[in-house]
């Protein structure tokens, strides 16, 4: 373990306790040779730039306070003169030179030592403030206490104007501070690890303390942030888990499930909460599955197949791969199909009895959709189609009896009557329609007497019958229909007459004679 325990010491007051008798000398402008603080802290990758600037400002203010207190008792007039012969790292160093020293009789060396001590003080204060911001006072242990002690001793030496000794003490304090700064990353990892260990042991308070220290070192560390959030939830999580276990022991599974579900919501990373929730959920699902299956079979045996099927489907939501559900659904589907088939067959037979062949055909087609191999539906379909064909043709000639005057339609009507003789069942409606068509066919086949009158000079012909020659009176037997009679005579204009022969009428007379000369 790298971090060093808890240090409770505070920094002593650095204000000088006795006045000095040195003469007051007006201070000149002082320019300090400030080397940058250690890269491991100033350019720490986890410390935001704004925070670093604030810490630097605080350090400078603290160092200024000490310097002001000291200079108020020991004013000097100092200016900076370059030392041409000394370089450090390629950069010319500037060392303080005291103007008027010869007049005062003081050597320049103490002022240089003082400046060096104050420079190290400034660096030490900056680094110490950064460590304090990272909580080093809590995890720094003996190294932090040693650093504080060295700093306090250096402060006392500075106040006593023992600049060389103070500079050495500040250097040692700064070394301790750098050791602590270098240990930050290691301490961070150990604090996070100990925080997670405390979480696993159920020690929420300990875990919170470790993660909070880790966040002082690295405020943006997401692992520590999540760990702290989890530790803060631990008390509520423990309470919910205990309540869930109590309800589970008492058999109140719904309440236990609610407690475990809330625990999972509170801490999704808790494996214990998730396992408990899954266990109770599975137990409840199994209970509900068994209840639904029992209810489904009861409904099935009572003939309520649709409700039974609905119960089995709800049970399937709990165990989608259950073979028991698959068998139950197949039984229900077969029973539903048989029941539906029975209804369709009964409906088709009733429609046949009422000679509603369109409805009968619809029932047979629906039955074939359920089972294309069912025989009664296949036979009923053919029977219905034949009935509909016969009745359609019957209706056609019954609505248009004049078509029977045509030999072609008359022949089709006779064939239709022959087909009706083989149709079963005939039914009262079909029989009546067939009888009406038979009567119309008989009328259409019964000839009517037609008497043609002429002048024995005109040649007479009847379209569809033939040439009749010249005559004065001629009797014909013609079937009902419309006939065209034509008369021709040499030197005269032809004549044309239309004779309508209607069924059931008496004899008809017509005169054909050419009268107009050409």
Domains and CATH numbers, the chain: 39-182 (no CATH), 191-288 (1.25.40), 363-445 (no CATH), 448-511 (2.60.40.1120)
- Structure tokens belonging to residue 31: 């320019």
User: Does the bond joining 400 to the residue before it have cis omega, within 30 degrees of 0?
Assistant: no
Pair 113, 163: CB distance under 8 Å:
yes
Residue 36 confidence (pLDDT): 42
Mean predicted confidence (pLDDT) in 50-77: 49
Residue 269 confidence (pLDDT): 78
Please, what's the b/e burial string for 242-275 (b: 16 or more CB within 10 A of its CB; e: otherwise)? ebbeebbeeeeeebbbbbbbbbbebbeebeebee
Strands 448-453 and 473-478: antiparallel
Pair 227, 209: CB distance under 8 Å:
no
Range name among 97-106, 317-326, 487-496 with the lowest pLDDT average: 97-106
For residue 108, the 8-state DSSP code is: S
What whole-number distance in Å separates Cα of residue 315 and Cα of residue 293? Answer: 6
Residue 71 confidence (pLDDT): 46
Range name among 123-127, 161-165, 405-409 with the lowest pLDDT average: 405-409
Neighbours of 333 (CB within 10 A): 13
What whole-number distance in Å separates Cα of residue 11 and Cα of residue 148? Answer: 7
What whole-number distance in Å separates Cα of residue 221 and Cα of residue 430? Answer: 94
- Phi/psi for 16 (5° steps) reads -55, 145
* Residue the block writes with tokens 């009797």: 475
Residue 496 confidence (pLDDT): 94
Residue 60 confidence (pLDDT): 55
Q: 182 or 229: which carries more pLDDT confidence?
A: 182
Q: CB within 8 A of 423, min separation 6: which ones?
A: 386, 387, 390, 430
**63, HSE (Cβ side, Cα atoms, 13 Å):** 22
Pair 198, 144: CB distance under 8 Å:
no
Q: What is the mean pLDDT of the chain?
A: 80
Q: Give the DSSP letter string of 436-484.
A: HHHHHHHHHHS-EEEEEE--SSSEEEETTTEEEES-SEEEEEE-SEEEE
Residue 283: Cβ-neighbour burial (10 angstroms; 0-12, 13-18, 19+): middle
Residues 125/130/131/135 CA torsion (nearest 10 deg): 130
Q: 54 or 149: which carries more pLDDT confidence?
A: 149
Pair 229, 212: CB distance under 8 Å:
no
Distances from the Cα of 314 to the Cαs of 134, 320, 326, 331, 515, in angstroms? 59, 10, 12, 16, 99
CA 386 to chain centre: 56
Residue 275 confidence (pLDDT): 92
Distances from the Cα of 16 to the Cαs of 27, 159, 508, in angstroms? 19, 6, 159
Distances from the Cα of 76 to the Cαs of 32, 48, 321, in angstroms? 15, 39, 94
pLDDT higher than 80, residue 23: no
pLDDT higher than 80, residue 66: no
Q: 3 or 375: which carries more pLDDT confidence?
A: 375
Residue 107 confidence (pLDDT): 55
Residue 255 confidence (pLDDT): 92
CA 68, 72, 74 angle in degrees (round to 5)? 110
Residue 77 confidence (pLDDT): 39
Q: What's the length of the chain?
A: 518
Q: How confident is the model at residue 4 (pLDDT cuts 50, 70, 90)?
A: low
What whole-number distance in Å separates Cα of residue 61 and Cα of residue 59? Answer: 5
Residues 378/384/387/392 CA torsion (nearest 10 deg): -130
Mean predicted confidence (pLDDT) in 326-339: 87
């Amino acid at each position: 373990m790298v971090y060093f325990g808890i240090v409770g010491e505070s920094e002593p007051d650095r204000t000088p306790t006795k006045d000095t008798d040195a003469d007051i000398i007006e201070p000149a402008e002082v320019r300090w040779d400030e080397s940058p603080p250690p890269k491991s802290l100033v350019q720490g990758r986890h410390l935001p730039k704004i925070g670093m600037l604030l810490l630097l400002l605080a350090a400078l203010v603290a160092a200024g306070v000490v310097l002001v207190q000291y200079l108020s008792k020991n004013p000097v007039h100092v200016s900076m003169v370059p030392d041409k012969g000394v370089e450090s790292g390629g950069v010319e160093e500037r060392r303080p030179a005291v103007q008027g020293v010869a007049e005062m009789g003081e050597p320049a060396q103490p002022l240089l030592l003082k400046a060096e001590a104050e420079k190290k003080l400034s660096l030490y204060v900056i680094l110490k403030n950064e460590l304090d911001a990272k909580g080093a006072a809590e995890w720094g242990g003996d190294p932090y206490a040693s650093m504080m002690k060295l700093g306090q001793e250096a402060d006392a030496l500075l106040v006593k104007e023992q600049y060389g000794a103070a500079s050495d003490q500040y250097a040692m304090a700064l070394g301790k501070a750098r050791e602590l700064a270098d240990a930050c990353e290691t301490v961070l990892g150990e604090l996070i690890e100990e925080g997670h260990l405390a979480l696993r042991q159920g020690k929420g308070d300990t875990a919170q303390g470790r993660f909070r220290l880790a966040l002082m070192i690295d405020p943006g560390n997401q692992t520590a942030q999540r760990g702290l959030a989890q530790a803060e939830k631990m008390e509520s999580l423990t309470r919910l888990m205990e309540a869930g276990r109590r309800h589970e022991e008492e058999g109140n599974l719904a309440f236990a499930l609610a407690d475990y579900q809330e625990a999972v919501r509170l801490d999704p990373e808790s494996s214990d909460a998730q396992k408990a929730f899954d266990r109770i959920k599975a137990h409840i699902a199994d209970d509900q599955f068994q209840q639904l299956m029992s209810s489904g079979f009861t409904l099935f045996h009572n003939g309520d197949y649709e409700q039974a099927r609905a119960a089995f489907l709800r049970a399937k939501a709990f165990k989608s791969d259950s073979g028991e559900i698959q068998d139950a659904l197949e039984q229900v589907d077969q029973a539903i199909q048989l029941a539906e088939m029975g209804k369709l067959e009964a409906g088709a037979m009733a429609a046949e009895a009422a000679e509603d062949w369109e409805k009968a055909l619809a029932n047979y087609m629906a039955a074939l959709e359920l089972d294309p191999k069912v025989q009664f539906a296949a036979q009923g379909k053919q029977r219905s189609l034949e009935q509909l064909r016969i009745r359609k043709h019957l209706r056609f000639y019954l609505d248009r009896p004049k078509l029977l005057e045509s030999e072609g339609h008359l022949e089709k009507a006779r064939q239709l009557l022959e087909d009706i003789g083989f149709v079963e069942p005939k039914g009262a409606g079909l029989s009546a329609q067939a009888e009406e068509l038979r009567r119309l066919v008989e009328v259409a086949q019964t000839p009517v007497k037609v008497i043609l009158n002429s002048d024995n000079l005109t040649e007479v012909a009847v379209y569809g019958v033939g040439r009749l020659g010249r005559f004065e009176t001629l009797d014909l037997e013609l079937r009902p229909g419309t006939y065209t009679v034509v008369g021709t005579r040499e030197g005269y204009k032809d004549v044309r007459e239309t004779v309508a022969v209607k069924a059931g009428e008496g004899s008809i007379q017509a005169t054909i004679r050419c009268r107009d000369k050409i």
